[in-house]
Amino acid sequence: MRSSERADGAGGCRRFLHLVHSLALMAAALASTGCASTPTAQPGQAIDAVAPLPASEPIATNSRNWPDTYSYANPDRYVTRHFDLDVTADFEGRRLWGAVTLELDKVDPSARELVLDTRDLAIERVMAAPAGSDRFRKVGFSLDPVDPVLGQALRIDLPADARRVRIQYASSPHATGLQWLTPEQTAGKRSPFMYSQAQSLHARSFVPLQDTPRIRSTYGASVRVPPGLVAVMAAAGDAANARGAAEFRFRMPQPIPSYLIAIAVGDLEFRPTGPRTGVWAEPAVLEAAAWEFGDAEEMLRRSEALYGAYRWGRYDVLVLPPSFPFGGMENPRLTFLTPTVIAGDKSLVGVLAHELAHSWSGNLVTNATWRDGWLNEGFTTYFERRIMEAVYGEERARLEWGVGLTDLRRGLAELAPEDAWQGALAPDLSQHKGREGSGVAYEKGALFLYQLERRYGRAELDEFLRGWFDRHAFTSVTTPQFVRQLQDNLMQRFPGRVDADFLSSWIDGTTLPPDALLVQSDVLARVDAQRQRWEEGALPTASLATEHWTVQEWLEFLDKMPVPQPHARLVELDRRFSLTASGNAEIAHSWYRLAIASGLRDIEPALEQYLVTIGRLKLIRPLYAELMKTPHGTELARRVYAQARPGYHPITQRSLDRVVK
């Protein structure tokens, strides 16, 4: 997921040392279930003990207790090593129904209770069987009271020899991880559409499982769909040759965390963009999408040159309807993308580079808890910039860094005092259940790695990161683990370049360190100089030299403008550059935000259309929040939201309900 687009997280403490033992056993099991066939994949790394740092106590990175507070699962007793999903996509009932069969490793010999995560699931029956047996017998189960963030713990009573558990269930029409769209809500407007979004805590709303990134498992799936529709999953399958089939089969031979489970059903067609890459989309947008993302194969090759072999087979993308709440979701083998990045000029393909980079940082090596999210997103944002530099040149990467720095500074400035914890890379989430995270982990995490690049040299950092991905392939890791390996591999080899105070300021600190080394862009500096002269009245609007501006330059110009701006100047700017009618979703967002903050009402008809037709949280939530600052804006926001809400994804609805209502 890119930028500040992760909307939520989740919780339930477990004992760290038991979990280390659990993961070690799970990894050993995975090594014997086919994962060893993946080139250079070395599953089986237990979580390291963490050596004390010489200064700056207390430091979060020195913690030996690193629980996952967002899951009810008990992996100190049982660990899922594989599951098989057998479901029907019921569009009339707006639900998935069927069964999931979990293959378990028993960690604690005395264990008799398996605890799974669920949310709004109708559990019909639970059965259990010994390993390798199909002799399933009904067993008892119970559901805990509902927690508004975590859902419900499903507690299953198991016989001593049980290693297989089969659960018959159905999802709710209101499942937070699924959106069911009518034909009118799609691009082609001729067939219904369904898609999932499991990150961070939403897999539990359509599959009962151990919904924690600590646990990785392989899976197989059978999905039945209505006639004429195509099912795709973030897994290997034959959907490209199966239009008209009633059932689609998939398999994921690499172990993944639950938040990377992904499914979509709709009127879909496929077009290859290279030997290992291609695009799924509705026919109405397929051609434009295939052109926009035509550099995916080149991005993939450049990525491998940086940090090693791509270990997932194919890299395809699925373009979803506009209601998709994020820019992209890095589901392995099948990235989900918003159509708002189809700009017609490849100016927004940084989102594609970001999701591709997740194939290493996030998918291959995963944050063990959502407290460690920067190990996914910060690493990936840094890697994204390196891909953009390799494919499009150094200046393009500098532009992306510049826009990211503006986002970071705005994000830090907008944090309320009680939310300062969100400015840390590895915050303690145990006290903040249900609170939405910010995008700081993305840009601050990337800048942290850039600091290491400047202090150790790019070649040394690349060698370290490549080794990090190789050593921990197909495992989940923590921040203390990263710090330990940084100490062993760089800090000890090059003493004096980084110390504990530096680590503390970046990982535990809640601000941007004042001595941070920043990526400079001469192009953006020239934009800033023009904007300053324009604001002072020394440069007429007609004389602004924007003929060759990129999207990033326009964002720099608009996002750094102080507010409020005089209406006459904004009207003149809009008349010259047609910003209200911009077809670029990012430019339109920045323009609308500036206009709302300045009280310019001329943009309201176009703004209303924008809010009704786009569901990407990054683009619309700030606009609603800005509207809610004035009585007139509040009235407009509530009226538009009442109209738009039914077409938004459940994740978007939950987020905006708190803003608008």
Residues involved in catalysis: 355, 442
Would you say 323 and 185 are in contact if contact means Cβ atoms under 8 Å apart? Answer: yes
Q: Residue 589 is which amino acid? A: H
CA distance 360 to 67: 24
CA distance 468 to 482: 9
Backbone φ and ψ for 314, nearest 5 degrees, come out as -105, 160
> What count of Cα atoms within 13 Å lies in the side-chain half-sphere of residue 533?
14
Helix, strand, or coil here: 428? coil
* Torsion from C-alpha of 604, 586, 187, 322, nearest 10 degrees: -90
The residues that bridge with 280 in the sheet, in sequence order, are: 270, 318
Would you say 179 and 262 are in contact if contact means Cβ atoms under 8 Å apart? Answer: no
Q: Within 10 A of 457 (CB to CB), how many other CB atoms are there?
A: 13
Query: Could you tell me how many residues make up the chain?
Result: 661
The residues that bridge with 178 in the sheet, in sequence order, are: 196
Would you say 55 and 505 are in contact if contact means Cβ atoms under 8 Å apart? Answer: no
State yes or no: cis peptide before 564, omega within 30 of 0.
Answer: yes
Would you say 518 and 409 are in contact if contact means Cβ atoms under 8 Å apart? Answer: no
Q: H helices within 368-457, ranges in order?
A: 374-392, 394-414, 440-456
Nearest to 371 by CA among 62, 68, 49: 68
Nearest to 442 by CA among 386, 401, 397: 401
212-223 as b/e, with b when 16 or more CB fall inside 10 Å? Answer: bbbbbbbbbbeb
Nearest to 89 by CA among 222, 199, 218, 225: 225
Would you say 70 and 200 are in contact if contact means Cβ atoms under 8 Å apart? Answer: yes
Left if phi > 0, otherwise alpha if psi is -120 to 50, otherwise beta: which for 578?
left
- Using alpha carbons only, give the angle 212, 16, 121 rounded to the nearest 5 degrees: 25
Q: Which residues contact 106 (CB under 8 A, 6 or more apart)?
A: 77, 78, 163
604-618 as b/e, with b when 16 or more CB fall inside 10 Å? Answer: bebbeebbbebbbbb
Number of H helices, E strands in the chain: 18, 22
CA distance 225 to 265: 7
Burial class (CB in 10 A: 0-12, 13-18, 19+), 29: buried
CA distance 252 to 312: 9
Q: Which residues contact 112 (CB under 8 A, 6 or more apart)?
A: 157, 158, 159, 160
